[in-house]
Amino acid sequence: MKAVLCVRHGPPEALDVVDLPDPVPGPGEVVVDVAAIGLNFFDTLIIRDLYQVKPPLPFSPGAEFAGHVSALGVGVSGLAVGDRVCGYMTSGAAREKVAVAAEFLARVPDDLDLVKAAGLVVTYGTAVYALKDRGELKAGETLAVLGASGGVGLAAVEIGKILGARIIGCASSPDKVAFARAHGADEGFDYGAGDLKAGLKAFAGPRGLDMVYDPVGGDFAEPALRALGWQGRFMVVGFAAGAIPKIPLNLLLLKNCDARGVAFGAQANSSPPWLRDTIQELMGYAREGRISAHVDKTFPLHRCAEAIGEIAGRRVKGKVVLTTG
């Protein structure tokens, strides 16, 4: 099989495409013939050894995938050869075949495209975990989504809308703001157009924001936190801007508000039943047209470096997906 390998840490151009033996399933494992692999911002970090998860070299990037079951290990039940599935693994998905524990897989309905299914797990799973499980977002509350045109940001806009929130989508250009609004944001804010805190406060009104969803960090985190209202929730999702902000803790005290961490990968690995239920929930939303599962660009597997470069260059709205066909 073909596999994309990170054999030495570095930029996307350092990735290799190699031939490896086909995997054999161990007890409790399934081999999946991979049709599509979803890429995420953390793939730009993990190959440079800048991510909190540090798989041993060599490894394949990619944490989410979709395809067909091709072999079953001892003890696997509930799946059959030929089943359409998608799943999660911390890394290692960017290859033509993967061996993965069956508990990290979920069935994909026949009427859902495998390319879309491959891009659902991490971004929309993160949004569900942040907004519903960790953030307890309620209908009628105000939600600011930073980085609203990217994969995790777009997912938060769409899941937030399902949960009944009133949403302002924040992004780095007018066309990205327009994209977020086209996918459900009630209002938008362009970072270059003025003061972020003032813009968010104008949107939220006197009581302030109920929630901020922040996958960006950097210089945007503190102004957004200052726009929170009494007992607001600041969801720490990631740091796409590069810098990890240092938040003055007195802001939490003065507003009686919370800063809550959102570690989707840790949750998925610690609770496979939660992961499976969440994926099934998302599949239902996708089939009903309530989430777009928007794929901006697809690349063949051997052009993985180019695909990761598109994410690193912030030239993507929604998802980038690799295909093996």
| Digit-coded pLDDT (tens) for 51-74 | 989 999 999 999 999 999 999 999
Q: How far is CA 217 from CA 24, 194, 263, 289, in A?
A: 41, 18, 15, 31
Segment 112-128 mean pLDDT: 95
3-state secondary structure string across 68-87: EEEEECCCCCCCCCCCEEEE
**Boundaries of every domain in the chain:** 2-119+295-323, 123-264
Which residues is 64 bridged to in the sheet?
Answer: 38, 88
Q: What pLDDT is stored for residue 240 in this prediction? A: 87
- d(C-alpha 44, C-alpha 56), whole Å: 16
Tell the residue number behind the tokens 């799973």, with chain if given: 125
Domain 2-119+295-323, classified CATH 3.90.180.10, yes or no: yes
- d(C-alpha 65, C-alpha 95), whole Å: 10
- d(C-alpha 322, C-alpha 105), whole Å: 19
Do 2-119+295-323 and 123-264 come out as alike in CATH topology? Answer: no
- d(C-alpha 70, C-alpha 98), whole Å: 10
Give the CATH H-level superfamily of domain 123-264: NAD(P)-binding Rossmann-like Domain (3.40.50.720)
Q: What pLDDT digit, counting tens, does each position of 78-111 carry?
A: 999 999 999 999 999 999 999 999 999 999 999 9
Q: Are 53 and 265 in contact (CB under 8 A)?
A: yes
What predicted TM-score, i.e. pTM, was given to this entire model? 0.94
CA 175 to chain centroid, in Å, comes to 21
Q: What pLDDT is stored for residue 15 in this prediction? A: 97
